[in-house]
Amino acid sequence: MTPAAGGARVVVVGAGVTGLLTAVECVLAGHRVTVLDRGAIPDPGSTSHDQHRALRTLMVGDPAATRRMGAAHRKWQELEPVLGPGFYRQVGVVSAVPRERLAEVVRFATGAGVPVETLLPSALPQLGFPAGTAGVREVRAGVLLAGRVLRAAARWLAARPASAALRPYSPVAAVDAAAGKVTLAGGEVVGGDLLLVAAGPWTGELVGRPAVLYRQTMVYLRPGRRQARRWRYAPAVGGLGADGRAWVVPPVAGTLLKVSSDAVCRQVADTDAGAEDQVPWAERLAQAGILRDPAGYEVVAVRACHYAADTAAGGARLERVGPAVWARTACGGSGFAAAPLVAAAMVEAAKEAAA
Ligand SMILES: Cc1cc2nc3c(=O)[nH]c(=O)nc-3n(C[C@H](O)[C@H](O)[C@H](O)COP(=O)(O)OP(=O)(O)OC[C@H]3O[C@@H](n4cnc5c(N)ncnc54)[C@H](O)[C@@H]3O)c2cc1C
């Protein structure tokens, strides 16, 4: 296919954070983009559709990954004035670390150029730190208002009809990786110079690449009056609870407090959580020792969310599945934080495709 003058024609399947951010970056780089989603854009059924997600860069023990995540974090900050301010809150992200490892973690962070400070559990008395731990706070990290950023990206694209076509309610039934085309459920064939399949946990199925699927239960809480003031400037925190596997995302900008744990993350065969009772998982979270005063909170919602991980390494995977076709076959647990890296890779690929 001959590339369009002045840029490539990019087709993106999936309007979650990966697809929308890729579309924005490709338009900024002078390409024309079509975004297809089986639902609305943004789609409340996407993995990305939530009130917030934590953005952190520190990958202890892996300097290269820390550098990459640092670059992604800077990109998120650069995007805020482009898409419209107000979707990032730099409240910091704290990890509970065994005290004997504190000096090592701080040394690693400093060496990797990530500013951190230590804090005692008494600084966050509402939370249950595991015995013998203290906090390492990534001061530049924070909380991205996920729903807000998806809406902002969709609005930004919709305002540029010459460069971006948003096509909601366009389910892709098949991907022809060799030809770089997709067939929609109604039979229409859509192709371009470059195709990205970013259909979240459904990507593997679409491109015939296996991934391991996980489901995790999250509980949304409203702090009572007694607790609310403690949360006013609170960071996101990981490594909590008696087993050190729980995390919280704070109630910033009118959102609810979100609580979960790796202990309630389970491997599943598909994304259909419809028949599964979430209450026993929520009860496990209530008993995990995450909050010091669980009775001081109102449970507002319980929700299951899915993510796909690489079959061998367990993390994220972006792969070229055809001459001009890429697929985000796994996002791992940090798909929001890493989305700018996928977008940057696609801008490079689009440049190549247009050459
Ligand atoms: C419990 C939990 C907590 C998490 N916390 C964090 C966090 O704190 N920080 C972080 O960085 N990440 C976090 N993640 C990961 C992050 O949320 C995901 O990696 C990210 O949202 C994936 O975005 P995506 O755009 O790739 O996929 P999605 O958001 O799932 O979007 C895929 C889109 O593709 C569409 N689609 C699917 N099939 C088709 C089809 N056949 N045709 C057309 N469209 C289709 C869907 O409708 C959807 O809109 C968390 C994940 C979970 C499960």
pLDDT at 6: 73
Tens digit of each residue's pLDDT (9 = 90 or more) over 259-292: 999 999 999 999 998 889 999 999 999 999 999 9
Round to whole Å and give the CA distance between 19 and 39.
Answer: 13
The rounded distance, in Å, linking the Cα atoms of 186 and 83 is 33
> Which residue segments constitute the domains of the chain, with CATH numbers given?
1-51+145-211+312-355 (3.50.50.60), 90-141+212-309 (3.30.9.10)
**pLDDT at site 355:** 86
Q: Rounded to whole angstroms, how far apart are CA atoms 83 and 71?
A: 18
* Whether the Cβ atoms of residue 282 and residue 219 lie closer than 8 Å to each other: yes
Q: Of the candidates 208, 237, 218, 226, which has an alpha carbon nearest to the alpha carbon of residue 325?
A: 208
pLDDT band with cut points at 50, 70 and 90 for residue 5: low
Cis omega (within 30 of 0) for bond into 130? no
Which residue's C-alpha comes closest to atom 4 of ligand 1? Answer: 333
Instruction: Record the tokens describing residue 25, joined without a space.
Output: 């970056």
Residue 328 scores a pLDDT above 70: yes
Above 50 in pLDDT, residue 294? yes
95-112: per-residue pLDDT in tens? 999 999 999 999 999 999
Report which ligand 1 atom has the smallest distance to the Cα of 260. Answer: 1
Ligand 1 proximity of 45 Cβ (cutoff 6 Å): yes
**Ligand 1, atom 20, residue with closest C-alpha:** 335
* Ligand 1 contact, 217 CB (< 6 A): no
Residues 6 or more apart whose Cβ sits within 8 Å of residue 211: 201, 203, 204, 308, 309, 310, 311, 317, 329, 330
Cα–ligand 1 centroid distance for 337 (angstroms): 12
What is the DSSP code (8-state) at residue 122? G
Measured from the CB, is residue 14 less than 6 Å from ligand 1?
yes
Buried b (16+ CB within 10 A) or exposed e, 220-231: bbebeeebeebb
CB 88 near ligand 1, within 6 Å: no
Judge whether residue 2 has pLDDT over 60: no
pLDDT of 1 over the 50 cut: no
Query: Is the C-beta atom of 340 inside 6 A of ligand 1?
Result: no
Residue 200 Cα to ligand 1 middle (Å): 5
pLDDT higher than threshold 60 for residue 145: yes
Q: Is 51 in the pocket of ligand 1 (CB under 6 A)?
A: no
Q: Is the model's pLDDT at 66 over the cut of 90?
A: yes
Average pLDDT for 2-17: 84
Cα(327) to ligand 1 centroid in Å equals 13
CB of 307 sitting under 6 A from ligand 1: yes
The string of DSSP codes covering 290-309 is: -BS-GGGEEEEEEEEEEEEE
Per-residue model confidence (pLDDT) at position 303: 95
> How many Å apart are CA 202 and CA 158, to the nearest integer?
25
Q: Residue 3: its pLDDT value, please?
A: 44
92-129: b (≥16 Cβ within 10 Å) or e:
bbbbbbeeeeeeebbebbeebebebebbebeebebbbb
The tens digit of pLDDT for each residue in 222-239 reads 999 999 999 999 999 999
Output the residue whose Cα is nearest ligand 1's atom 13: 334
Residue of the CA atom closest to atom 12 of ligand 1: 334
Query: For the residues 192-214, what does the mean pLDDT come to?
Result: 96
Ligand 1, pocket-test mutation among 35, 46, 216, most atoms within 8 A of CB: 46
For 27-36, what is the mean pLDDT? Answer: 98
Count CB-CB contacts under 10 A for residue 283: 14
53 Cβ closer than 6 Å to some ligand 1 atom: yes
